[in-house]
Amino acid sequence: MTTQDRALNPWTKLPISLRAIISGLLIALAAANVWPLLLLNLGVPLAAFAEAIFLALYLWWAGGGGPPRTTQAARATAFRRGRLSPTQWSWGLIAALFFAATIHASIVLLFRFVPFPMAAFRHGYDFSFIAALPLRWLAVVVSAISAGICEETGFRGYMQRPIEQRYGAPVAILISSLFFMALHLTKGWATPGMVPIVFGAGVLLGLLAWSSGSLIPGMIGHAVMDIGLFAYWWTGIAGDFTARPITETGVDQPFLIACAAFTTSFLIVLLAISRLRGQARSTL
């Protein structure tokens, strides 16, 4: 695209932050809604196969492949395409897994302070139309992987990365986390207590993408988190949360274990992010 073409293009006249927000939302939401359509129209096995093909093409295109040529470099940059060293892979996987543990521990703690609103959490996540339990698990896993890939590409890639380059990481992470939170506030499970948890998840994922220079650790952590969310909190195929608030039971051993799990996993995530950032600086 020439300088004259840019001057005539209304899109390029928009502020970078606004372009990043619009692009991020479109890239995340349009792709994330493909899986529900496939699932409802094709059935689990065929839908899972079609979704795998779609996600492969989506990653290829979002990472800078395919047309148009004029946007390939920008797409690759937004996708944070680059290789991770073995050390970065190790710390990235540690951060991803303990991120998921942190979020689930925080939800457990929330519902030891207030009653668990099961009806609100199960609303809109009825997998009863899928008869076989193994197929329900397959639907859960594909749902989680799809959300992890599409939302990380949109929010931590196409939205956060351009704002990072222009205004710095703190501003970019704040903006992407706020929009990530706002998107999820439309869900039935978005009770007041869940709001800071969702925002905190967005901040940790934003920090992970920024510190590692890659979307892959965040995609893994997001998918692992969502497998637990879908299987346990939203559909109940992995069991039901039956613990009562500590106002009824007192401070019991399970509550103390949840506190220890949250504190430990959160500190490990912060340590891993710090090490990843150190690795990134050493390669500059």
Per residue in 210-236, pLDDT tens? 999 999 999 999 999 999 999 999 999
This model's pTM is above 0.75 = yes
Q: Residue ranges of the domains in the chain?
A: 13-282
pLDDT over 70 (residue 65): yes
Helices (H) and strands (E) in the chain, counts: 15, 0
Measured in whole angstroms, the distance separating CA 81 from the mean position of its chain's CA atoms is 17
pLDDT over 90 (residue 148): yes
Q: What is the mean pLDDT of residues 142-155?
A: 98
Give the pLDDT of residue 126: 85
Residue with tokens 């039935």: 188
Distances from the Cα of 158 to the Cα of 22, 23, 74, 153, angstroms? 9, 6, 9, 6
Give the pLDDT of residue 8: 56
pLDDT in tens, 156-191: 999 999 999 999 999 999 999 999 999 998 888 999
Give the pLDDT of residue 13: 83
- Percent of the chain scored above 70 by pLDDT? 96
Contact 149, 141 (CB under 8 A): no
Q: What span, in angstroms and rounded, lies between the C-alpha atoms of 71 and 225?
A: 32
- Percent of the chain scored above 90 by pLDDT? 86
Q: What span, in angstroms and rounded, lies between the C-alpha atoms of 20 and 177?
A: 13
Residue with tokens 């430990």: 264
